[in-house]
Amino acid sequence: MSRQAASFAPQPSPDSATVTPGEWPVVIVGAGPAGLISAITLARMGVRCLVVDRRRSTSQHPRATVLSLHTMELLRRWGLDELVLAGGHDVEWLMSISPTLREAAGDTEDVGYPTTEQSALISPCQPANVPQDYFEAVLLDHLRTLPAAEVRLGVELTDLTQTAFGCRIALRTNDNGSIRDERAHYVLGADGAHSAVRRAVGIGMPTSSSQHESISVVVHAPLWDLVGPHRYGIYLVDHPNGFATLLPAGRPDRWVFGFGWDPAREALSDYPRDRLIEMVRSAAGDQQLPIRIDRVGSFAFVGGMAERFRDGRVILIGDAAHRVTPRGGTGLNTAVADGFNLGWKLAWVIKGWAGESLLDSYESERRPVAEHNLARSLDPAGSLRPAVDEVQVDLGARLKHRWLTPFDPETGSRASTLDLLTDGLTVLTCDPDALSSGPLRPAGVSAPVTVRRVDAITARALGVTPGGSIVLRPDGTPLSSLSESSHLVDTAAGSNIGQRR
């Protein structure tokens, strides 16, 4: 089976005949990772959605630089993995510790992400070093190819009111100040740590005090020449100016140089470009290094958690729901997982495949992960974690990866068990009779059920007993039976997507 056959295929929107102009099944406020991933998930499943963002373009700052196994597996599922990888560097996700970058010699620490060798045992992918600005641009370009999605940049939310049937929102175009009203059955707040959506529905987000203040400098310099074969995702250097970090952040030679400072006693103006260049050269161990500084900024290590992720038909994802510090590199990847988890569930509800109570499982599943990552990010040693512990948080209970046979000698490709997943329910079995008996469907469930046969050895590796089967959600999480979850059979309330206001 090809990877393309296993991916979500865009479909005509099933609700297009029941939604009037100016009325959307889903409006997503925010075009960062969480918003774009949720929109792509919905649009690939044929659900119309509108994405708005007050910015006129995606981020121009590298920000996050690590894509986890879960994130890369999702991109592979959509056929975007190779395009995304083209914007990054081939590194091992370890932390190198040395006096200067030139002296990096292979002394490393775990940072919670598996190495290439470790990844090969559990996934068809490996964690990637790709800057967030490039990643977002790839997602946005892909979203714009999907007929069910519309994107409006330079548009700001000014008002949000919930009604008995959904939401009314006011959107202002920043270029001319014009305001347009839209209606939505659901609104997703993906608009960051200072979310206007979260404020509009009165959800609080208690935050920690700042644990650390940092200056971040985006530089262009030939630093790979200094490290040679010792290519890692994070470099910690300890030189006379103090500890500093250097992160590869895009091709061909873009890096982020970060160091602590005291904004109570200092100002950014105390760090002119000549001083910053000297600091980077000192950290690199090369006083003649050619350097071009792109941008300079500062930020505080602050974390927070929304009091709840949902208010009626308004749901928070990504940084709008939980804010973490850079320690551990989990912020972007948590947002991606939020977007996919909520995206497929919302699509099921809108399509009438499951009752609205399915949406309750979004927070119950995602909050524990966000709480773990928040606590890790507030730990001064949070960047240093064993990969074997943190990969479980990243991948959750998803189906085990196993390579399937046969191997294609012409293309050199093999399919993974993860490639068998569909946007409905997937049944894996080694029982030949299961393919001819037709899909089993409990009362009230209308999600399509696809039966896939696997060989006996693969079935055993997946924990499938002879003559038995395993039933999987779109995210690969197994169900012990099709009817075990009330969320999947509770369609009495159903979706009111076709009702008029």
Phi (first) and psi of residue 197, to 5 degrees: -65, -45
Say if 464 falls within a structural domain: no
In angstroms, rounded to a whole number, what is the distance separating the alpha carbons of residues 149 and 28? 10
Both 179 and 308 in one domain: the answer is: yes
Both 162 and 188 in one domain: the answer is: yes
Mean pLDDT for back-to-back runs of 10 residues, the chain (501 residues): 30 40 90 98 98 91 96 98 98 97 94 98 98 98 98 98 94 95 97 98 96 96 97 91 92 97 96 97 96 96 98 98 97 98 97 93 98 97 96 97 77 86 94 61 72 92 89 89 47 35 29
Among residues 186, 190, 197, the alpha carbon closest in space to that of 495 is found at 186
Say if 284 falls within a structural domain: yes
Both 106 and 155 in one domain: the answer is: no
Say if 237 falls within a structural domain: yes
| Residue where one domain finishes, among candidates 249, 278, 300 | 300
Both 149 and 183 in one domain: the answer is: yes
| Residue where one domain finishes, among candidates 271, 300, 329 | 300
pLDDT at 164: 87
Both 83 and 176 in one domain: the answer is: yes
pLDDT at 489: 47
Both 174 and 257 in one domain: the answer is: no
Cβ contacts of residue 368 below 8 Å, gap of 6+?
none
The whole domain housing 43 covers 11-87+131-207+303-343
pLDDT at 468: 86
Among residues 222, 284, 253, the alpha carbon closest in space to that of 88 is found at 253
| Residue where one domain finishes, among candidates 269, 300, 331 | 300
Among residues 335, 253, 421, 422, the alpha carbon closest in space to that of 67 is found at 335
User: Which one-letter amino acid corresponds to residue 118?
Assistant: Q
Say if 387 falls within a structural domain: no
Say if 356 falls within a structural domain: no
In angstroms, rounded to a whole number, what is the distance separating the alpha carbons of residues 46 and 161? 26
> Which CATH number covers residue 44?
3.50.50.60
In angstroms, rounded to a whole number, what is the distance separating the alpha carbons of residues 145 and 169? 25
Both 140 and 61 in one domain: the answer is: yes
The string over 308-331, giving b where at least 16 C-beta atoms fall within 10 Å of a residue's C-beta and e elsewhere, is: ebbbebbbbbbbbbbbbbbbbbbb
Both 96 and 225 in one domain: the answer is: yes
pLDDT at 490: 47
pLDDT at 79: 97
pLDDT at 435: 54
Both 81 and 151 in one domain: the answer is: yes
Both 335 and 279 in one domain: the answer is: no
Both 103 and 188 in one domain: the answer is: no
> Which CATH number covers residue 229?
3.30.9.10
Both 287 and 168 in one domain: the answer is: no
In angstroms, rounded to a whole number, what is the distance separating the alpha carbons of residues 228 and 359? 49
Based on the structure, what is the number of domains in the chain? 2
pLDDT at 480: 58
pLDDT at 434: 62
